[in-house]
Amino acid sequence: MMDGRMSGYRRPDGRFGIRNHVLILPCSLCASETARFAAENVKGAVYLANQGGCSLSRRDLKVTLEVLSGIAANPNIYGTVLVGNGCEVVQASLLENEIRKKTNKPLETIVIREEGGSIRAVKKIAELAEKMYADAANVCREEAQLSELILGTECGGSDPTSGLAANPVVGVCCDRVVEHGGTVILSETPELLGTEEILAGRCRNEEISRRLLRMIADYEEDFRRVGENPRSGNPTPGNIAGGITTLEEKSLGCIHKAGSSIINEVVEYGAPIKEKGLVVMDTPGQDIASILGMAAAGAQAVIFSTGHGTPTGSAILPVIKLTANRETAEKMADNTDFDCSGVLEGLCSMENAGAELFDMVEEVCNGRKTKAEELGFQDVSMARYCNFA
């Protein structure tokens, strides 16, 4: 058991990061390969692949700007080098302006066309990122209370062990984070379908309850407008093979990640979080896109529960993966950080497993690397609402 503190880096904007990354961030798909090549040639730089940034509807432009600016503002990031192509919808100058609204951290901008092509741009990007990395290395670690932690929660590749044990163990851990004054995010809107009234009854007031119910209803309505149903793709084939029969059944297991705390806020995808305690974010069920939205909101770490196992990681934040499936823990040991299968086997209690997971969260917040970090996995996906314009 640790003392409810974490060590990391105080940013100029006052926020606290548990990692100290230099980010090379492309504004669009057309700038992504140039940014990737530059990142691969700079020690210590991380890179966020961007599969969009152009041919966007107004709704998707708003979401993209919110998410990309939020990623640059994430406290795990020391500073950012923006890379634009020059003609995309998400212009480098536009994104730079959005980032500066959220943070005063180091920020540099390169436009490939203005540099005279990718080769010259890569050289300039690398020079800026190398200097930024040297400056980041001089930032001293300091301590902070866990009350400054924003912890995201995710579940994927679920099977019955997820709802029976893994997610409830996460819930015990998250209640402890909230007890320490921290913030926990419950994500995955489609996996709240069927649990609306349960969650609405946990909201702090009627206004938050109405926002939660509207968020879930709107998600389902978006599918109906194009003649689809979210249940046609969820549960997934893996969920069904594992024994989950309906989306509502999956949802009832999913919400255990939120523990027993009161819901204090409901926020849009990638939007900044203003309240402490338990927060619900409107994210897709696709795990990697959901994680990116929570990172954009300022989450420093994510707990990811899984039945079948997953290699998922993030360039921005540590992803702590756990399972209550003994076979998965053994077969995917190089991807799994925490095995709580003992809960189902009667070897430990839910409370004890949750306390041990909380200790691991503290260790990760104090510098311990997750399996995905050790492997260098940097998965990226962003939610979108419309086809390319």
pTM for this entry:
0.95
Closest CA to 75 of 305, 365, 387: 365
CA 300, CA 316: separation in Å to the nearest integer? 8
* Domain covering 21-138 in this structure, CATH number: 3.40.50
Which 8-state DSSP code applies to residue 87? Answer: S
Whether the CB-CB separation of 328 and 336 falls below 8 Å is answered with: yes
CA 122, CA 41: separation in Å to the nearest integer? 9
| Tens-place pLDDT, residues 199-235 | 999 999 999 999 999 999 999 998 888 888 888 777 7
Burial-class residue 99 by CB neighbours within 10 Å (0-12, 13-18, 19+): buried
| Tens-place pLDDT, residues 102-124 | 999 999 999 999 999 999 999 99
H or E element in which residue 290 lies: helix 287-296
Backbone Cα Rg of the chain:
20
| Tens-place pLDDT, residues 358-377 | 999 999 999 999 999 999 99
Alpha helices in 84-188 (DSSP H): 92-102, 112-115, 118-137, 160-161, 167-179
Q: Which residues contact 313 (CB under 8 A, 6 or more apart)?
A: 319, 370, 371, 372, 373, 375, 376, 377, 378, 379
Closest CA to 311 of 337, 339, 335, 338: 335
CA 291, CA 299: separation in Å to the nearest integer? 9
Q: Which residues contact 229 (CB under 8 A, 6 or more apart)?
A: 220, 223
| 143-147, 188-192, 248-252: least confident range | 248-252
| 17-31, 84-98, 226-240, 363-377: least confident range | 226-240
Name the band, by pLDDT with cuts 50, 70 and 90, for residue 1: very low
CA 48, CA 61: separation in Å to the nearest integer? 17
Whether the CB-CB separation of 28 and 91 falls below 8 Å is answered with: no
β-pair type (142-145, 5-10): antiparallel
Name the band, by pLDDT with cuts 50, 70 and 90, for residue 2: low
Whether the CB-CB separation of 290 and 67 falls below 8 Å is answered with: no
Q: Delimit the domains of the chain by residue range.
A: 21-138, 145-375
Name the band, by pLDDT with cuts 50, 70 and 90, for residue 44: confident
Average pLDDT over residues 334-352: 97
Using the predicted structure, report yes or no on whether residue 246 has a pLDDT greater than 50. Answer: yes
